[in-house]
A = this chain, B = another copy of it.
Amino acid sequence: MQWNFSDRAASLKSSAIREILKITEQPDIISFAGGLPSPDTFPVKEIKQAVDHVLNGNDAIGALQYGPTEGYVPLREWVAKQVSRDGITVRPTQVLIVTGSQQALDLIGKALINKGSQILVETPTYLGGLQSFTQYEPQYVSIESDEKGLIPDSISDDMAKSASFMYLIPNFQNPTGRRLSLERRKQVAELAKKNDLVLIEDDPYGELDYEGNRLPGVYTLAPENTVYLGSFSKVLAPGLRLGYIVASETLINKLVQLKQAADLHTPSLTQRIAYHVIKEGFLEKHIPTIRALYAKRCNAMIDSLIQHMPKSVKFNRPEGGMFIWVELPKTINATELLAEAVQNKVAFVPGEPFFANSTNIHCLRLAFVTVPEEKIEKGIKILAELIKKHTA
């Protein structure tokens, strides 16, 4: 039987990196590869209590029956309240609950991208965003970026006017760990307002600032222009697959139509579990424990990098999130290095697939949050030795 895939499906390539990374699920590998939150932070006890509450209560049938595409109303109300800040009021009708933030990216691609539409993206940007958008065959415009994130001055009014949207992760970006400065946030907001540019602000890591120095979300600076994507994956548990979109009702109504065709609605049970865990302020106590753990592991990795890496290797010190971005000497191919590293029981993600246009072979992403400190040191030392062999 010959399968004739659609053009969009045929253009998807199986990822060589994904194949290598399958090996890294073995328990004896020190993996800095996956973008997984630390399971030490999962509130198993509270989730158990919430499930008991839901399934023993009046709403057990609601938790098991079909539900509205828009999402569970109390959860939408909670989200609206949570994101109403810095002088911005969000209504529950502006909130759509989705099956993880990844679904938000897919629905937005469906809603806004025609074949050939121009999309502005950071350099580098989140691989999963590229995967979702690419299905709808856009043309990517890579925005110049530096260690402070994207450079708004590099975006002309013409670029802004002709783009379907700009996709950005202002907080502790995946893959770089960079945070966009307040000044640049304001510039992005002004640029958007001036040119009717839609901003897709993806914010799964916003709560993970180690010092609690939150910067205002771009959506609070340009609320009309911004579609804000939030997630419960990094503050509760990713296995629930729960995220949300906050936007104008005009867009939300269109996304609801698309979501209905995509999965009818997000599971009724998981939405209620999340709501009952968080409804009485649990996250205010819980998130600081996540920040403390991640800050400790980040520091351990930075210390190890400083101690072991040759001077020709560059890396940043993130102020939050889960990732460190490493630039190797340009002669070293990170994908080839991964093959060697895996043989030595260490894994990471090469940077190349995070670039929409350029071919960048000498960068890599390190995730530190799932690895205990002593193993971080061991893993970085192994990596450093392999790199030194190449630079010698």
Contacts and interface: CB of A to CB of B under 8 A. Distances in A.
Contacts of A36: 65-66
Given A64-B47, A238-B66, A4 B112 contact: yes
A250 interface: yes
Contacts of A112: 4-6, 9
B99 A238 contact: no
A261 B102 contact: yes
Given A39-B64, A64-B39, A254-B12, A114 B7 contact: yes
A179 interface: no
A296 interface: no
A131 interface: yes
Given A12-B257, A224-B1, A262-B103, A65 B39 contact: yes
A64 B240 contact: yes
Interface in A247-298: 248, 250-251, 253-254, 257-258, 260-270, 273
A198 B247 CA distance: 39
Interface residues of A, number: 79
Highest count of chain B CB atoms <10 Å: which of A1, A196, A273: A1
A176 interface: no
A42 B61 contact: yes
Highest count of chain B CB atoms <10 Å: which of A6, A62, A111, A264: A6
Contact of A9 (B52, B238, B254): B254
A27 interface: no
A237 interface: yes
B238 A65 contact: yes
B267 A240 contact: yes
A9 B254 CA distance: 7
A296 to B, nearest CB: 20
Contact of A55 (B1, B51, B265): B51
A117 interface: yes
Nearest to A233: B66
Highest count of chain B CB atoms <10 Å: which of A52, A117, A239: A239
Nearest to A265: B241
Nearest to A36: B66
Given A1-B196, A55-B47, A55-B51, A106 B262 contact: yes
B270 A267 contact: yes
Interface string A15-44: 000000000000000000010110100101
Interface of A: 1-9, 12, 14, 34, 36-37, 39, 42, 44, 47-48, 51-52, 55-56, 60-67, 99-100, 102-103, 105-106, 110-114, 117, 128, 131-132, 134-136, 164, 196, 198, 224-225, 233, 237-241, 248, 250-251, 253-254, 257-258, 260-270, 273
Report the 6 A-B pairs with minimum CB-CB distance, sorted nearest first.
A239-B268, A64-B237, A131-B261, A64-B239, A241-B267, A1-B224
